[in-house]
Amino acid sequence: MIALVLRLSILLMVHPPEEHPADVCRCVEARAIDGWCPKCEVGYYGGVKIKSIMLFEALDLHGHEIDPAKTRCESCKAALKSGGFCEECHMGFINGRGYFSRVCYSMAKGDQVRPPPGQSYAERWCPDCRTGHVGNREFHGQDDCAGAAHWMAVLRRAAEKADECASCATAMISDGRCFRCRVQYRDGVPVQGPASPKP
């Protein structure tokens, strides 16, 4: 037992424990893996900087496993098979995973890539190469590339809106309704103004 304690003490002196993640800036790593930096309190997705934790978590970045046997919505069942999006449940499916935001659903159709250090890919489709880039994703279908570009533009607007109202920003990326401002969003833009007060 004493030998074990001595061995652990030596290991700790040679390899001290890492600093707590909250004390170290992780922005470089967060940009590369679509993550959150707890020290700076910012997140990154596809190169977009997000200062609202509410918006960042609402993105549903990596989706989640879906059990087809437990899926009751017929539209979801069809979308699960086709890799489509259920308009009723506001949920998209790629390779058996479900995504609650159109942004991440659209980006999941591409392959994650890392541009050269200090550079970023131009957001465009190359008809000669039949390849396109949006953020840190590479696409091999023009429609998929265009869809991802559209929703990443929505995310950029939502990230700016979050400074004013994080709930609106979340509604923008999910075709939802802001519980605070009572504004409904569709395709990233308001479809109606604030609800009139009840008489």
How many Å from the N-terminal Cα to the C-terminal Cα in the chain? 76
pTM: 0.80
User: Are 180 and 168 spatial neighbours (Cβ–Cβ below 8 Å)?
Assistant: yes
Q: Give backbone dihedrals phi and psi of 55, rounded to 5 degrees, phi first.
A: -65, -40
Q: Computed from CA positions of residues 146, 148, 149, 154, in that sequence, does the dihedral angle turn out positive or negative?
A: positive
Could you tell me how far CA 67 lies from the centroid of its own chain? 22
User: Are 151 and 107 spatial neighbours (Cβ–Cβ below 8 Å)?
Assistant: yes
pLDDT in 10s for each residue of the chain, 199 residues: 444 333 434 434 444 444 445 689 999 888 888 999 999 999 999 989 999 999 999 998 888 888 888 888 999 999 999 999 998 888 999 988 999 889 999 999 999 887 766 666 678 899 998 999 998 899 999 999 999 999 999 999 999 999 999 999 999 998 899 999 999 999 999 996 554 443 3
Q: Tell which residue, 116, 120, 95, 96, has the closest CA to residue 44.
A: 120
